[in-house]
Structure 1
Amino acid sequence: MTRSGRTVRGLDAEQRRAQRRADLLEAALTLFGRKGFANVPIEEICQTAYVGTKSFYELFDSKEACYLALFEQLVADLSARMLAAFAEGNREDEALLETFARVLVVDPRVPRVVFAQSTAVSPAVERRRRENRRWGAGFVEEVWRQQGVIPAGADVRAIAIATVGGLFELVTEWLFEENEDVELLIGQLVAYGRVVRAGLTSIVDGVSSDG
């Protein structure tokens, strides 16, 4: 190790801090994904990351804060991938649902942390989980509008939130069954999407007929 007043191994203080944070979040992802949030002490996260406990508390106030930071990172990555798929022209329901499932299960730790554990961590995490669901509902609404499924100005927010909740619940159920067949998950998501789409089409057709 080469030391100077400013750098260690070529990294300045902020870069070392960022590296410690990344190492801690990676360790938390592994441990939470394997053992569950409640069964992982801070000391184990630090040992796995090769980061001192003092450094942990310089970055996170608590284990909950660490989980929230990890949740934010994972959700941001998933959201970016879904937006990219949408921007690339994958705008049909089934294509988007397949993309969602395949992106989600690339790393099995991710769905376990984001879906299987987030409801049992704390009220703060529950609030963030609901914010994520509302973002998902907004994304779904935009897809429906782009596809022409719902007319401009139609208020389908509640239906979109319920749709996202159902999709998330299917993912959670798939995880609890410890099923590694992603094709089964895709099939369940697509089947659910078709039911919702049929219901929306009926509502729109009914409104058009009344008009």
Structure 2
Amino acid sequence: MTSTDKSPVRPRRIQGLDAEQRRARRREQILAAAFELIAADGYVNTAIEQICQTAFVGNKAFYELFESKEACYLALLQQQSERAQGMVAAALAEVTGDRDAVVAAVIGAFAHSLVDDPRVAKVTFGEASGISAKVEQQRRTNRRWAAQFLESLWRTQGFVPPGDIPHLYPIAVSTIGGLFDTVADWLHTDAGVAGDIDTLIRDLTVFADIVNRGLSAAYPPS
């Protein structure tokens, strides 16, 4: 007798996860392993086989998700950038008070996102430069987001008057470069080695304050 049961076949679940969930978990495992190894040994000295062993996945699983070590590192840079963006955006959403309080909250979140875990700065600062054109493009994309965020902050907090301000975005790009270089320099000082983030936040705040005052002077309200 032929069965007429037309009920749909349920996707196979392993450890309570379907195929897409397992894929997402493997991706997170691989990125976590790559982050740990690159922070410890550098990009050049980290092999795909090491990443797979640390992540407890096979090489086949790696290549199902990433076509190369470079692609894995690009995903890692993007992951860290999104984490930092989230921290800064959350700080901006929660802060109350005048624009100095806003700047202090944003600067604090920016600093904490980069140095609370020393490995973040090493992976994103120490390794990103000079690997490949694609990695440099990703690094520049992250910097451009930061510059656009800063330009928006200047406008919404009244550091510049409304309307078209010439050269504002290039100024934001230069300012972001200065902020990142301040972090990079701090990492190589005694304060950085000791993890004295208050010193870093002070230096970043002083730099941002000088730029903000310069903008207000150059573009006074009409």
State the TM-score, normalizing by the size of structure 1: 0.89
Specify every segment of 5 or more residues in structure 2 that has no aligned partner in the other structure, as ranges: 1-9
Give the superposed CA RMSD.
Answer: 1.9
What are the equivalent positions in structure 2 for 1:37-52 lying under 5 Å apart? Answer: 37-52=43-58
Structure whose alpha-carbon radius of gyration is higher: 2
Q: CA deviation at 1:101?
A: 0.8
* Deviation by residue 1:95-124 (Cα, 9 ceiling, x = unmatched): 211121123222222222122221132110
What are the equivalent positions in structure 2 for 1:157-176 lying under 5 Å apart? Answer: 157-176=169-188
The code of the aligned residue for 2:127 comes to Q
1:64 matched residue in structure 2: 70
Are the aligned partners of 2:11 and 2:18 in contact in 1 as well (CA < 8 Å)?
Answer: no
1:126 matched residue in structure 2: 136
1:113 matched residue in structure 2: 123
Aligned partners of 1:188 and 1:37: how far apart in 2?
30
Are the aligned partners of 2:91 and 2:105 in contact in 1 as well (CA < 8 Å)?
Answer: no
Residue 140, structure 1, aligned to residue 160, structure 2? no
1:35 matched residue in structure 2: 41
What are the equivalent positions in structure 2 for 1:18-33 lying under 5 Å apart? Answer: 18-33=24-39
* Deviation by residue 1:161-207 (Cα, 9 ceiling, x = unmatched): 100011111112223445222112112211211221122122124xx
State the TM-score, normalizing by the size of structure 2: 0.85
Aligned partners of 2:34 and 2:186: how far apart in 1?
22
The code of the aligned residue for 2:151 comes to E
Aligned partners of 1:96 and 1:31: how far apart in 2?
30
Specify every segment of 5 or more residues in structure 1 that has no aligned partner in the other structure, as ranges: none
Aligned partners of 2:12 and 2:59: how far apart in 1?
23
* Deviation by residue 1:25-81 (Cα, 9 ceiling, x = unmatched): 000111111221111111111111111111111110000100011111111111112
Q: CA deviation at 1:134?
A: 1.1
Aligned partners of 1:175 and 1:38: how far apart in 2?
21
The alignment partner of 1:40 has SS state of coil
The alignment partner of 1:119 has SS state of coil
The code of the aligned residue for 1:95 comes to A
What are the equivalent positions in structure 2 for 1:80-119 lying under 5 Å apart? Answer: 80-89=86-95, 92-119=102-129
